[in-house]
């Protein structure tokens, strides 16, 4: 087994495998900012499989998001309070997709390539987001990631083009029968796709 296979095995059960290191990280990360730029990926195996390369033009950002459901926007004008129904609200976006959007807003000159899970506690979840600079020569001339410099990839995270976005849109595990209401979009099919 190569090194990356061992790393992958550790991350199957990180809390158990990493032991005190897991807790030390959580204690440290809780005190940091919501979006923190990091020098190296915490999970090198996952980062490499998602397109990261240790070269100029790539940036890793660790993003913290609050766990649980979100509160629905409340009515501004007079309504019967019982009918507002904001207590239980399950948004169609995953926390991972939300973390990618946060990273994109923090680094507007970059483009989100992908992201992966790194940790969680009772209150937060942390994801590491891989970003690439579409105007950097080493990114433009890279045969694997050069596509991100094209105009079609601009602000791709806000259009649900990343892996997390496609999954939330129902495009990952649906082909053929059962996917009739997914394309062109769930909204176009009046929300019947999910």
Average pLDDT, the chain: 91
pLDDT of res. 86? 64
**Residue 169 domain flag:** no
Domain residues for the domain of 125 are 3-71+85-159
**Residue 165 domain flag:** no
Average pLDDT, integer, range 164-171: 90
**Residue 168 domain flag:** no
Q: How many C-beta atoms surround the C-beta of residue 177 within 10 A?
A: 6
> CATH no. for residue 93?
3.40.1120.10
CA 75 to chain centre: 30
pTM to 2 decimals? 0.88
**Residue 182 domain flag:** no
In this predicted model, what pLDDT tens digit does every residue of 36-51 receive, in sequence order? Answer: 999 999 999 999 999 9
In percent, the amount of the chain with pLDDT more than 90 equals: 70
Q: Give CA–CA dist 164/147, Å, rounded.
A: 19
CB 135 within 8 A of CB 108: no
Q: Is residue 81 classed exposed, middle or buried when 0-12, 13-18 and 19+ CB atoms within 10 A define those classes?
A: exposed
- How many independent structural domains does the chain possess? 1
Q: Rg of the chain's alpha carbons, rounded to an integer?
A: 19
In percent, the amount of the chain with pLDDT more than 70 equals: 96
**Residue 147 domain flag:** yes
Q: How many C-beta atoms surround the C-beta of residue 64 within 10 A?
A: 20
In this predicted model, what pLDDT tens digit does every residue of 122-162 receive, in sequence order? Answer: 999 999 999 999 999 999 999 999 999 999 999 999 999 99
pLDDT of res. 88? 66
**Residue 140 domain flag:** yes
**Residue 10 domain flag:** yes
Element (H, E) at 124: strand 124-132
**Residue 91 domain flag:** yes
């Amino acid at each position: 087994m190569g090194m990356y296979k061992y790393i992958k095995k550790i991350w199957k059960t990180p809390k158990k495998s990493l032991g005190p290191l897991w807790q030390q990280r959580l204690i440290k990360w809780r005190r940091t900012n919501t979006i923190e730029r990091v020098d190296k990926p915490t999970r090198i195996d996952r980062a490499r499989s998602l397109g990261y390369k240790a070269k100029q033009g790539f940036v890793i950002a660790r993003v913290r998001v609050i766990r649980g459901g979100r509160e629905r926007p409340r009515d501004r004008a007079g309504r019967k309070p019982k009918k507002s129904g904001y207590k239980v609200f399950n948004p169609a976006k995953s926390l991972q997709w939300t973390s990618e959007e946060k990273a994109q807003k923090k680094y507007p000159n970059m483009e989100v390539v992908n992201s992966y899970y790194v940790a969680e506690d009772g209150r937060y979840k942390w994801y590491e987001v891989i970003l690439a600079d579409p105007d950097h020569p080493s990114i433009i001339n890279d045969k694997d990631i050069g596509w991100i410099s094209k105009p079609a990839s601009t602000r791709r995270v806000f259009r649900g083009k990343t892996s997390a976005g496609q999954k939330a849109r129902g495009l990952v595990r649906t082909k053929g029968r059962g996917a009739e209401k997914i394309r062109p979009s769930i909204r176009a099919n009046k929300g019947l796709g999910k």
